[in-house]
Structure 1
């Protein structure tokens, strides 16, 4: 390519990109303006932001897609409203079961939510995900970056994906039920994370997960494989009374402080090759249903 064509090509790309951004902004403005015009009689005063917010909430609670889009536009235009918008979407995922699961509507709300939690052009930083008891369908928060997570007692229908997610606050999945596979591979928890009494029907992967505080899985039940290879926990790791029905892979895990396995039950093969525990390890009344592999044995079977 001739040298003079390079700057021309760059200029064309910049112009196209600017045009796309301008068109998106224009569509956002048009959506709210058109919504206001349809609801205001000729000659009446303009609709206030509070009225738009209430109308968006009303439409959303009725299951109207326009309400979902209006809330998203309010969040884009008014950053201080973003957490309220996220909370509204999450509230919908906590209820409505009496009318049926309505997988399509829940999936649509989740897609809109995730589009603002994953870094990119429409990212809303610092959002907390607080939805105890929510019913979530094939939730995919992979690569998302959020603040605090409270999904205590949540039910995950289908796979739950949190791979490479970053949680800057505490994360609490206590009592949650994962009805298929759960993936936390390469996730970063900047504070503590709890899966106390959680139930995993399928496999769970904490492979290469990092937890800056404590990891609590006391009383958790895993029917499938539990993969913690390469995980690193800087606080206490609490697996007391946990039940591992399938293979438990602890190869290369680094537990910087105490590791508590009292009354835990490992029914499948347990691989602990090159696992490191920084302080004390408690295995009082721990049961192993099959042999424990360590060192080269664990590496060969990984």
Structure 2
């Protein structure tokens, strides 16, 4: 009841003119009745039909308030208002029904009371005539009330249109001035322009994407350091301006450390080719992001970020630490030919779409521990110069590591390959697949290992190890339950060590041993 009363009072307060009109219509109705019916007769009529008349008046009052609620905007006029809708046809129909209902109700009540008040034929005819006239008068008043409400609405729309035009003009002026300041050769002026654009975006939701596009365009502008002292000072100032621009965007995209900042939703980021410093988008949520050819100086932090659309980092260069831990890629993630010159951390990240790392270079340690890749994973031609950790990583679709070079250790303990795992022509120093699950085809044709461990791993589909070379192989507890291709592993192998330079084929003839067709029948 309290909420209902609050809604009614809000509607009444929003339409003061309608309330005044309602009171005037009620006074007009009483005046009309008192003009055509004696005061005593009116009192007797009200006493005898008080309940029906009260219901009638209550219905009219409810209908009028309902019309006020329909015509009012639920939320106050703000800079982020939604477009107005045209007046629906049923509002006009409702008005016509209200007019007819008021005429019929008033006339019916007065005619019924005329029959009760007098039995004289002449007086009865006179009272009936007056009742019909009064009903028509009330109908005209009701129609006038509805017409006035529509007039009030029209006036409100005109005022709102004028306010919107003034607002657009003011926004355009502020926007143009801020953009002009952003092109200043003085760093303080550029900083002031960035904060002005931030306030403008906070106040005008419809302009947020445009303002973000302007800030991103500024960050995409060429940025070079020439080496002389004057240039060094300008370099540091410009670095501060760019860092501020990045912080403004990150803060409004839901940064983990942002406090009391209005969050901007459904924002696209285009920083392709940008020179970025101290990038920190931890916890930020972006609709889509384009960082192709971007240069990340200092640390690039994207931990716990959410990319609702595609994320493009193709040919980007990470000069320092890159952190994508616990990041959610809900679209495709493109890291084609990207360069990670320092450590890269993607532990427990989720790739709902494709994960494209083809041709990427990892100069230092790369961590993909417990990553979930639901789409296809493409690492072909990638180069890992440091330790590569894929422990307990889940590949729900095809995983392509063809031609990959692992200069240091590769750790894939407990990794799961649901479909094809392709490692043809890959080069390994120390590759550990202990406890890995290959549920799809495992293809290692032409792969080159220095040391290989598949101890405790299981192969449930076909295996291909043709032309594989290695120095040391450990296979204790390895089991194969799928079809074998030529030169593939035997059904079950124990610890093997072969001389340096030995090919894989001669070992097969020495170590083959029949075992059960499936793991449930294997008792050893």
Report the TM range for the smaller structure's normalisation: 0.7 to 0.9
The residue number in structure 1 matching 2:287 is 147
How big is each residue's C-alpha offset from its partner over 1:58-94, in whole Å with a ceiling of 9 and x where there is no partner?
1122242221111011101110100111111111111
Say whether residues 1:124 and 2:250 are aligned partners.
no
Q: In structure 1, which of residues 56, 64, 68 is the aligned counterpart of residue 194 of structure 2?
A: 68
SS at match of 1:158: strand
Mapping for residues 189-268 of structure 1, pairs under 5 Å: 189-268=329-408
Contact 2:415–2:433 at 8 Å: present in 1 too?
no
The residue number in structure 2 matching 1:82 is 208
Contact 1:269–1:293 at 8 Å: present in 2 too?
no
- 1:287, distance to aligned residue in structure 2 (A): 0.3
The residue number in structure 1 matching 2:425 is 285
CA distance in structure 2 between the partners assigned to 1:176 and 1:144 by the alignment = 20
Q: In structure 1, which of residues 78, 87, 92 is the aligned counterpart of residue 218 of structure 2?
A: 92
Q: CA RMSD in A?
A: 2.0
Q: Which moved more, 1:250-259 or 1:55-64?
A: 55-64
Higher relative contact order, structure no. (Cα contacts within 8 Å, ≥ 6 residues apart): 1
Q: In structure 2, which of residues 138, 163, 172 is the aligned counterpart of residue 50 of structure 1?
A: 172
Change (3 A) 1:257 1:67: same
- 1:48, distance to aligned residue in structure 2 (A): 2.8
Matched residues, number: 254
The residue number in structure 2 matching 1:172 is 312
Change (3 A) 1:110 1:293: same
Q: In structure 1, which of residues 103, 124, 135 is the aligned counterpart of residue 239 of structure 2?
A: 103
CA distance in structure 2 between the partners assigned to 1:163 and 1:72 by the alignment = 24
TM-score w.r.t. the length of structure 1 is 0.80
The residue number in structure 1 matching 2:251 is 115
How big is each residue's C-alpha offset from its partner over 1:234-292, in whole Å with a ceiling of 9 and x where there is no partner?
11000000000111111110010000000000111111011001110111110002343
How big is each residue's C-alpha offset from its partner over 1:39-58, in whole Å with a ceiling of 9 and x where there is no partner?
xxxxxx99732111100111
TM-score w.r.t. the length of structure 2 is 0.47
SS at match of 1:82: helix
CA distance in structure 1 between the partners assigned to 2:275 and 2:434 by the alignment = 39
Q: Which has the higher helix share?
A: 2
